[in-house]
Structure 1
């Protein structure tokens, strides 16, 4: 069935797929403009909501997440183990905690935790006939100040992740495209080329969305739709996956 992806801010997105709503990496309030928070609240109200948290950095996780999502009709939470270790006292008791390589059935979805080369996890999720990849902070973090050995190591871990991800088709991929890494864009073009998702959403822009158009040529390939969002609440319509 058709679905849609909504941009909120930074790495925070909402996926509406059939009767299910998925919220990714809702950040702490100092990283979330009020207008973006209002858009999120309006779209979460009354939903059957599953909240995903990739890791505990506060540009990806709000410790007050339970309050921020309280208007949903029903909720479940999926978090990485570092979030549970650091914030277990504020998480609902039935929160699903994942570690790398764990697979769980959550609210009618199949959720797989993929090891990150930063903190926490990335997720591969099968929901409503779609396979969705959400990268969190798994990326090609080849910072110029790193040693050559460190950048070789991060490149190896990144490409191992891409090899695993490309083992089966991905309909929607959300991955970091950090503009501070202008040469590699933190691996986004490489993921696009190797994984070949049908829909592609760049992330980790801190609200500086003009970089999407600046680098659009490097983020475009035949057979993949680039989500060119410009403001909170912008929508990418997702069609059903073609029959095998």
Structure 2
């Protein structure tokens, strides 16, 4: 059954599959250009929607998320525990609060929380016959200003996560490819090399999509289709998705 990925902005994407719409890390208005907000709204209208929030940073979570998603026909919310701690008062009472290593059945999906090495969670999701990884801010944050010990620690946590994810094949991976970390690209090439997802969506570009072309060769892997989006609302079709 066909599925599709939709780029909105930064780490905000949609996955549409088997009549379900998954919205990831919709940011606060200061981090969301008008064109991106319009693109999201056009896909959310009338949708059977599940909203995922990986953590509470403003570039990943909009405190007014209820208004932003009001056009959906139905809504479920899956949020990290730090989002619930800070913004529980704006969430509906049936919001699913995830913690590291928690596995929950949500709206016909299996959702697993994976601890981030920044804040909040990454998610592994089984939906419509697809296994999907959404990394949030779990990445190889090997900033040049870090101490050697700090970079060793972040590298160890990153590779523990990759080992966990390698337990079974991934169909779709959303992970950060931060261009400020030109040497490691915050771990994206390493994830691709180890996990070989069938589809890969780079994130955390802050709208600077030109870097996708600049680094496309470093992200190329046999058997993996790279989502080379250029503007909000761009779509990558997944025509070989299994039947639900």
TM-score, with structure 2 as normaliser: 0.98
Number of the residue aligned with 2:80: 80
| Distance in 2 (alpha carbons) for counterparts of 1:239 and 1:57 | 34
**What is the CA-CA distance between 1:2 and the residue it aligns to?**
1.5
| Distance in 1 (alpha carbons) for counterparts of 2:28 and 2:34 | 11
| CA contact 1:44–1:71 (8 Å) conserved in 2 | yes
| Distance in 2 (alpha carbons) for counterparts of 1:128 and 1:241 | 8
Number of the residue aligned with 2:58: 58
| CA contact 1:130–1:240 (8 Å) conserved in 2 | no
Deviations 1:52-104 (A, max 9, x none): 00000000000000100001000000000000001111111110000000000
Number of the residue aligned with 1:135: 135
| Over 4 Å off, 4+ runs | none
List alignment gaps of at least 5 residues for structure 1: none
| CA contact 1:51–1:75 (8 Å) conserved in 2 | yes
List alignment gaps of at least 5 residues for structure 2: none
Number of the residue aligned with 1:110: 110
Q: How many residues align?
A: 243
Deviations 1:101-123 (A, max 9, x none): 00000000000001100000000
| Distance in 1 (alpha carbons) for counterparts of 2:101 and 2:192 | 23
CA RMSD of aligned residues (A): 1.0
| Distance in 1 (alpha carbons) for counterparts of 2:125 and 2:229 | 22
1:7 matches 2:7: yes
Number of the residue aligned with 2:123: 123
**What is the CA-CA distance between 1:242 and the residue it aligns to?**
7.1
TM-score, with structure 1 as normaliser: 0.98
| CA contact 2:52–2:78 (8 Å) conserved in 1 | yes
Number of the residue aligned with 1:20: 20
